[in-house]
């Protein structure tokens, strides 16, 4: 039996990876605020970790969108030949420092749980205390576009590789869990599977989706706007559209649920 959202004392939020589609998470946060629903703990992977950090930091939804619009994805002087990746992820540190000047999990207003992938040991790693920015960079460092991030001598990359929907890290004190998944695995036409790159992308997407679908279903409230399918994972022109899709979808769902309680 699903628990009551309106009467919940502590709300946990799980935010999946999914690149630009993750702007839908920001739309959800806007809808939550409009319904006076306050989240106490956030767990996220990849772009979900970034959105979760900005939300936990007290940034407005406008400031969150500005962060993603203003942070360059492919800046010519960020390209590297000395690291395994097209872009040097460490070059983004100064940009993140502008938003998180204290660079500490403890400085955030909400509990935050960030997942990254330990490339050497082949396992996921949870970060929830101490230095903040490097774990965020690591969690969103999608190979082979972004280089891995060295933290205490270990190379870390995108959290979505091992755990794209880290629901299990929310604390036991949370009595209502909202899950937001933007890694959509809908139907693909044959023309979308014509070459090796398309095939690899499809297989990876299906594997990521399969690993998190049961956890999404076990949330008290699960959000998965299928309209995001047409937005490319690294297509910055889709930022505003993904945000609007997330907001409209979450608003409809929240209004329906709260009207029944």
- What are the residue numbers of the active site? 46, 158
What's the rounded Cα separation, in Å, for the pair 246 and 53? 18
DSSP secondary structure code for residue 3 in this structure = P
CA angle 112, 116, 122 (to 5 degrees): 145
172 contact partners, CB below 8 Å, separation of at least 6: none
Here the tokens at position 22 are 């993750």
Question: Torsion angle, CA of 237/158/112/177, rounded to 10 degrees?
Answer: 80
Of 132, 130, 228, residue with least CA distance to 180: 228
165 contact partners, CB below 8 Å, separation of at least 6: 14, 16, 45, 179, 181, 183, 211, 212, 215, 216
Q: How far is CA 196 from the centre of its chain?
A: 27
Detail the DSSP E strand segments found in 2-134.
11-15, 39-45, 111-118, 123-127
What's the rounded Cα separation, in Å, for the pair 23 and 52? 11
What's the rounded Cα separation, in Å, for the pair 145 and 147? 7
């Amino acid at each position: 039996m699903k628990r009551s959202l309106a009467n919940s004392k502590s709300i946990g939020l799980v935010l999946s990876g999914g690149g630009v589609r993750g702007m839908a998470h920001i739309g959800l946060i806007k809808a939550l605020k409009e319904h006076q629903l306050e989240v106490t703990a956030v767990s996220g992977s990849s772009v979900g970790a970034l959105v979760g950090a900005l939300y936990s930091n007290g940034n407005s939804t406008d400031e969150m969108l500005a962060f993603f619009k203003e942070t360059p994805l492919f800046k010519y002087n960020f390209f590297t030949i000395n690291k395994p990746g097209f872009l040097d992820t460490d070059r983004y540190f100064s940009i993140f420092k502008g938003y998180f000047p204290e660079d500490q999990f403890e400085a955030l207003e909400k509990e935050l749980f960030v997942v990254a992938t330990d490339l050497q040991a082949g396992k996921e790693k949870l970060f929830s205390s101490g230095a903040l920015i490097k774990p965020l960079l690591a969690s969103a460092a999608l190979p082979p576009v972004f280089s891995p991030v060295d933290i205490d001598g270990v190379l870390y990359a995108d959290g979505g590789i091992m755990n794209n929907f880290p629901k299990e890290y929310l604390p036991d004190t949370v009595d209502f869990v909202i899950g937001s998944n933007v890694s959509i695995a809908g139907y693909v036409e044959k023309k979308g599977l014509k070459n090796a790159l398309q095939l690899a992308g499809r297989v990876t997407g299906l594997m990521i989706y399969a690993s998190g679908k049961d956890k999404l279903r076990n949330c008290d409230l699960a959000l998965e706007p299928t309209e995001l399918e047409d937005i490319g994972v690294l297509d910055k022109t889709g930022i505003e559209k993904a945000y609007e899709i997330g907001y409209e979808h979450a608003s409809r769902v929240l209004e329906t649920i709260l009207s029944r309680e």
